[in-house]
Amino acid sequence: MRMRAFYEAVEEAARELYLRALKDIPADVRAALQRGLDAEKRDGNASAEQVMFTILENVRTADAQDTLVCQDTGLPVFKAVIGEDLMINGGELKRRLRRGCERATKEYPLRSNTVHPVTRKHTGTNTGDGIPVVKIEFREGSSALYLCAAPKGSGSENMSFLKMLNPSEGLQGVKRYVLECVLESGAKPCPPVIVGVGLGGTSDVAMALAKEASCFRKIGTRNADPVIAELEAWLLDRINRTGLGPQGLGGATTALAVHVEWAHTHISHNPVAVNMQCWRGERAEAVINGAGEVRFL
């Protein structure tokens, strides 16, 4: 009965997190958007200032009306960090996360986006084979489950890139490729964006790292590796010097943040992945203890 209560709490939390992520923009993202508005004011760019003001007004309107910030409800993506002292059935965890998304879609209701990749037949539930996406990690010395929901809209997700660089291209090759990806993306991912970069590993690891960087890192955090942290700062500065600006209409705020995650890799290749997140930076978090008590963060 205790485990039944725990999984019921997981399902309810998944439902609530999906909705919260779509309705309540995180505090770190709000602060970054305000800094973007201030930067456009300082530069005297009236059109960019108006775009940033409109974005923030959109957030305020969603708060006041308790409604979605954007019509694109995305594909549900969850990060589940399982405490090593918590005994969990992984299959049941994924089933409950799926049910939570299905309930949110039906009960709110939400627009459903999930279709078959070939026939394009619609599921109508925002779930399906492989959806929701669930990333599972483990945490030492913990007996709780941490959940983070980060719905991913198509505008930003369509701007995903992977290249297997030759190691001889070095750091300059990485910098050049990331900047090329931002310029190629243009206005499509709804800038100002959060740019996620994954370095190293294998091709699939690099893509997963880029998604971790774009969706689950808080703005204002820096990579613990000083070399990578320096790269993050350099890229953010150069991206905002491109002049692409909010919504691609020109200005000083093309990116709110650049986050880089990395893994060791093979001596004869250097994978680089880039994943964009739109200005909403949608994310909602909760912790569930073994008794099924939920604390939303």
The domain total for the chain is 3
Q: Do both 119 and 89 map to the same domain?
A: yes
- Copy the structure tokens of residue 235: 């890229």
| 11 shares a domain with 135 | yes
129/187 same-domain check: no
Positions in the chain whose pLDDT score sits under 50? none
Q: Are residues 168 and 94 in the same domain?
A: no
Do 184 and 160 touch, CB atoms closer than 8 A? Answer: no
Distance (Å, whole) CA 202 – CA 272: 9
What single letter denotes the amino acid at residue 182? V
Q: What are phi and psi of 290, to 5 degrees?
A: -65, -20
Same domain, 55 and 10: no
pTM summary value: 0.95
What lies within 8 Å, CB to CB, of 170 at 6+ separation is none
Length in residues, the chain: 297
pLDDT score at 2: 77
User: Would you state the structure tokens that stand for residue 290, as one six-digit string?
Assistant: 């073994």
The predicted structure's pLDDT at residue 3: 85
Query: Within this chain, do residues 89 and 160 fall inside the same structural domain, yes or no?
Result: no
Residues 6, 82 share a domain: yes
Are the beta carbons of 294 and 174 closer than 8 angstroms? no
Does one domain contain both 140 and 87?
A: yes
Task: Supply the range of the domain harboring residue 135.
Answer: 2-22+69-152+282-296
Q: How far apart are CA 123 and CA 128, in angstroms?
A: 7
What local confidence, expressed as pLDDT, does residue 204 receive?
Answer: 97
Residues 86 and 160 reside in one and the same domain: no
142/176 same-domain check: no
Sign of CA dihedral 38, 35, 214, 89: negative
- Cross-strand pairs, 147: 80, 286
pLDDT at 1: 64
Q: Are residues 146 and 289 in the same domain?
A: yes
Residues 17 and 45 in one domain: no
